[in-house]
Amino acid sequence: MTTYFAPTQDMQFVINELTNISEIATLPAFAEEEIGTDLVEAVLEEAAKLATEVLAPINKTGDIQGITLNAEGVIPADGFADAYQNFIEGGWNGIGCPAEFGGQGLPELINTATQEMWNAANMSFALCPMLTAAAIEAIRRAGSDAQKAQFLPQLVSGEWTGTMNLTESQAGSDLSAVRCRAVPEDDYYRLFGQKIFITWGDHNMAENIIHLVLARTPDAPEGVKGISLFIVPKFLVNPDGSSGDRNDVHAVSVEHKLGIHASPTCVMAFGDKEGAIGYLVGEENKGLAYMFIMMNEARFKVGIQGLAIGERAYQAAREYAKDRVQGRPIGTKSGERVNIMHHPDVRRMLMMMKSQNEAMRALAYVTAAHMDMANHHPDPATRKAHQARLDVLIPVVKGWSTELGIEVASLGIQIHGGMGFVEETGACQHLRDARIATIYEGTTGIQAADLAGRKLHMDNGATMRALIADIETTAKALSRASHDDLTAISQGLADGVQALTEATDYMLGTDDMNAVMAVSVDYMMLTGYVCGGWHMARAAQAAHDHLANGQDSGFHKAKLVTACFYIEHVLPKANALLSSVKKGGTSIMRLTEEQF
């Protein structure tokens, strides 16, 4: 049975040393919160208690028991409803939401650290508030004032939860194929159709469920230009705000899955009888743009899941490696048998896990800080610059971190040896849970296509080039350091910069979009490794400064060594990927369908 310890010291290190938290604290939106190291520490410590004492203990039991569907609807696993009450009573559901709707209005940066904890402690549970947060964001940005007043306070408090209803059997990655119908009637619409794979599409933990649904009105044009977004509550909302009649939307079945067993994945039937009443969000036919608000929010948070599961798997593997006695130290034939942490190859695996987790965390938290600046900085030009950086980074955080999450969870099994392959230790669950994160909210291929096909070209590569220039500045600054580790890090980072520059030149310089798409995942992963290396280098510099100032802590020494490991053993993957990118995927496209 694995336990979870929230790595609050690591989280605070990233927040305090690698992000512009002090600048974020001065933004007008956060002026009243008096955000400083004390507040960050207090929030993280409280969140850690909930994650470790309430959510983590029901992770494995939820995995074993799963959910059930009966005539009343979905029944969550034991302990989930109580944990959810605990979660919302603590105000955690709305910590990143605006105060005007009852939230605590804290920066996304702090919220991101709590997201990491919820997902590491219990990813199935965390999906429910994650989708509520995405629904809140879509209604807040695209809904009418009346819709905001009607739905946001209860969604923010968590009394109601939210869902995202995009997928239909013929419309997965390609949402242009959505067929669900919305027929106008009075001041609402009636929806008919079926959605599949809807996360937390039904449950009894909250009073109401607010579904955000993509559908087509009768005269809508074909394709993505004819999709509209609707709010479809499970229970209609009375004028006084209380829950009224049951709407014609039901979970008709639930999927049996590889992982996240305690998160219901529902087939939702809309309009089996008179039609489900739905309210149009914004204008007709602009639904996909609104849904993208929700998807971007969710994509970033799914990226956090890669990190979170990686951290959980690492902790389990580390504890097992300390405990498991096997063999003797290299070069000795007799004497005490030792724990497996003595073996260099086990250490290699642990370092792979630890260093990639730290790189993922740094990139994710820095990205969250861009979110705060993009959303709240008073100067429009500054907001625009942060938004541009964010647009490029979100597919990387989602695609790269979730791929790494699987790799790290798999290493966790390897460290457990045979015990990793049996369910008892819990290592299997981490890999099973991690596996979905590269699929939902847009597969890795879709994230890579977004980066290489859209984001990179939006400004002719200017945002990516500015990012590369920033990384190069760090590499150059480190090259002047008089410390062997930092000099070595600077050299490795300079090589990474070169790889990303050449890969970007290739991606921008070729007109063959088949070639661009064939190597897009390689390009996205390369970008992730180099961005991760950048922040590991910055972490090394910060740790070195603390050590130089006489803070001789094992924590800072470990940060420096972990950065060295990443630069020596992980970042060189960027060069291998560059070589693949430059081949332009020629062999990928050569076989005919019959030859596969």
Ligand X SMILES: Cc1cc2nc3c(=O)[nH]c(=O)nc-3n(C[C@H](O)[C@H](O)[C@H](O)COP(=O)(O)OP(=O)(O)OC[C@H]3O[C@@H](n4cnc5c(N)ncnc54)[C@H](O)[C@@H]3O)c2cc1C
Site string for ligand X, 520-549 (x = CB under 6 A): ------------------------------
**What are the tokens at 202?**
């039904």
C-alpha neighbours within 13 Å on the C-beta side of residue 471? 29
Q: Of residues 168-187, which lie at the interface with ligand X (CB under 6 A)?
A: 172-173
By rule CB under 6 A, what count of residues binds ligand X? Answer: 20
**256 and 265 Cβ atoms separated by less than 8 Å:** no
From 136, 166, 371, 574, residue interacting with ligand X (rule: CB under 6 A): 166
CA dihedral (558, 559, 565, 568) positive or negative: negative
**321 and 296 Cβ atoms separated by less than 8 Å:** no
- Residue-by-residue DSSP string for 224-243: GGG-EEEEEESEEEPTTSSE
The reply to whether 268 sits near ligand X by the rule CB under 6 A is: no
Nearer to ligand X, 35 or 434 (CB): 434
* Element holding 243 (H helix, E strand): strand 243-246
**DSSP code of 404?**
H
Residue 422: is it exposed, middle or buried by C-beta count within 10 angstroms (0-12/13-18/19+)? exposed
The reply to whether 56 sits near ligand X by the rule CB under 6 A is: no
Nearer to ligand X, 105 or 172 (CB): 172
**Window of 68-76, 95-103, 161-169, 503-511 that interacts with ligand X by CB under 6 A:** 161-169
Q: Of residues 302-361, which lie at the interface with ligand X (CB under 6 A)?
A: none
- β-strands 235-237, 188-199: how paired? unpaired
Site string for ligand X, 241-260 (x = CB under 6 A): ----------------x---
Torsion angles phi and psi, residue 555, rounded to 5: -60, -50
The reply to whether 132 sits near ligand X by the rule CB under 6 A is: no
CB of 49 to ligand X, least distance (A): 29
416 CB-near residues (< 8 Å, 6+ apart): 316, 317, 320, 425, 427
Which of 284, 441, 502, 568 is labelled catalytic? 441
Output the CA–CA distances (angstroms, integers) from residue 35 to 9, 10, 65, 293, 562, in the order listed.
Answer: 17, 18, 41, 27, 29
Nearer to ligand X, 430 or 556 (CB): 430
The reply to whether 66 sits near ligand X by the rule CB under 6 A is: no
From 199, 217, 447, 501, residue interacting with ligand X (rule: CB under 6 A): 199
**307 and 367 Cβ atoms separated by less than 8 Å:** no
Q: Of residues 360-379, which lie at the interface with ligand X (CB under 6 A)?
A: none
CB of 142 to ligand X, least distance (A): 17
Q: Of residues 436-495, which lie at the interface with ligand X (CB under 6 A)?
A: 436, 439-443, 445-446, 449
**Window of 147-155, 196-204, 235-243, 477-485 that interacts with ligand X by CB under 6 A:** 196-204
For 443: left if phi > 0, alpha if psi spans -120 to 50, otherwise beta; the answer is beta
The reply to whether 67 sits near ligand X by the rule CB under 6 A is: no
Residue 319 known to be catalytic: no
From 118, 197, 290, 320, residue interacting with ligand X (rule: CB under 6 A): 197
Using DSSP's 3-state secondary structure scheme, residue 19 falls into coil
Using DSSP's 3-state secondary structure scheme, residue 206 falls into coil
Site string for ligand X, 412-441 (x = CB under 6 A): ------------------------x--xxx
Indicate the residue type of 277. Answer: I
- Binding residues for ligand X (CB under 6 A): 164-167, 172-173, 197-199, 257, 265, 436, 439-443, 445-446, 449
Query: Active-site positions?
Result: 441
